Amino acid sequence: MDRALELARRGPAHGPNPRVGCVLLAGGVPDGSPARVLGEGWHRGAGTAHAEVAALADAAARGHDVRGATAVVTLEPCAHTGRTGPCAHALADAGVAHVVHAVEDPNPAAAGGAAALRARGVRVTSGVRAAEAAELLRVWATAAARGTPYVTLKTATSLDGRVAARDGTSRWVTGPQARAHAHAVRAAVDAVAVTTGTVLADDPALTARRPDGSLVDHQPLRVVVGRRDVPAAARLRGAGGPLLHVRSHAVADLLAAVAAREVRHLLVEGGPALATALLAADAVDELHAYLAPVVLGAGPAAVGDLGVSTLAAAPRLRTARVERLGDDVLLVARREPAPAVAPAAATAPIEGDS
C-alpha cells in the first residue's frame, strides 16, 4: 500500500478525479509466499485510465497473468461508468482474486465497488493505510462527498492583520518566497477567485507562474465575483486559465457556479469582502495565512466584522503546519473534520463589493 500511495502522488492534485495508485501482486497475501509485482498504475487525470486499469495494462505489457492476483488500491474501486468504465468490473473480469483498498469511495455516484467485487466472488479487505490515504484524498473526498468545492482562503498580511497600507499600496506585503509558494498553490488548485473590487483595484492576472515569470502547464479557472464588469483590458482576459464571472453577491451562487465546472478545490485570494462572507457562511475549509514581519498600523484588514461579540463564540481552526518562507511565515489552519454538507449559511452576502 505504501507503494500504491507513492504512485497515487504522481497524479495531478487538480481536476475532478481523485489521485489513486494501484499495485497488482502475485503471491504474498493470502498464501504467505513471497509477493511479486505484476503491474503498477496511477490515475493521470480526467479522461485517462483509472489506476486499476492502468495497472492491468502494465501487467499485460510485462506479459504477466493476473488471474488469482491481489490488487492493492488506495481508494475503493469505482462501480460506475463515467468517462471510463467501472474498475471493479475490470478487476473481476481480469480474474483478480483479492482487492485491498485503503478507504471507501465517498462519491455517491461511484461508490459500491467493494460490494460489486464481493458479488463476483472477489475477496475485499479495506482500511489498510487508511489515515495516509485519507490525507492524500482530503480535498477531493470533501468536495465529492458534499457536492461543493473544498475552499482554501488565502490571506497575505502584516503582523497586525493589514492587507495594504493606508494609501492602498499592497505590492508587496510579503516577500518573493511567499509569493512563489502562493503560485505553487495556484498550480495545484482547480480555480482561484477574487471580487470585482480586487480586479478594479489591483488588476491581477490570477495565473500560476514560475519564479522566472513563465506560466506553468496547468492554469486554474479564474473566477470573478460581483456585478460590475471586468474591464476589456484587464489582465484576467490575457494568457492563463479561462474566465468565469459570477454576477452575484451570494456565497451559495459562487459555490454552485464553480461546482458546475467540476471544480473540486477553490482558492480564494481576495478581497476582504469575499473572505468575510465565506467565513461568515462557515464555508472555508482551510486558511493559508502568509504573515510578513511588517507593522502598518492602519489600512484595510484581511477580514471584516464576523459578528463575533465574545472570544468564546469565535470559530477556531486547527493548525496543520507552520512554514518559514524567507522572512515571512505561512500558517495553514483547517476545520476538522470538514463539514459533510454544504454550509447552511451559504446565502451570506458578499458585502462591500458591487
Q: Is the torsion defined by CA of 25, 130, 186, 15 positive or negative?
A: positive
pLDDT digits (tens, 9 = 90+) for 254-280: 999 999 999 999 999 978 999 999 999
Q: Among all chains, which residue has been given the C-alpha cell 476589456?
A: 232
**Beta partners for 265?**
150
Q: Is the pLDDT of residue 172 over 90?
A: no
Distance (Å) of CA 55 to CA 11, 38, 40, 100, 217: 14, 8, 4, 14, 26
pLDDT digits (tens, 9 = 90+) for 82-126: 777 899 999 999 999 999 999 999 888 777 999 999 999 999 999
Coil, helix or strand at residue 323: strand
Q: Is the pLDDT of residue 216 over 60?
A: yes
| Amino acid, res. 265 | H
Q: Which domains does the chain have, with CATH numbers?
A: 2-136 (3.40.140.10), 146-334 (3.40.430.10)
Angle 347-190-161 from CA coordinates, rounded to 5°: 65
Model-level pTM?
Answer: 0.90
Catalytic residues: 52
Residue 351's pLDDT is what?
Answer: 57
pLDDT digits (tens, 9 = 90+) for 143-165: 999 999 999 999 999 999 999 88
pLDDT digits (tens, 9 = 90+) for 281-320: 999 999 999 999 999 999 889 898 888 989 988 888 999 9
Report the first-to-last Cα separation within the chain, whole angstroms.
51
292, 159 Cβ separation under 8 angstroms:
yes
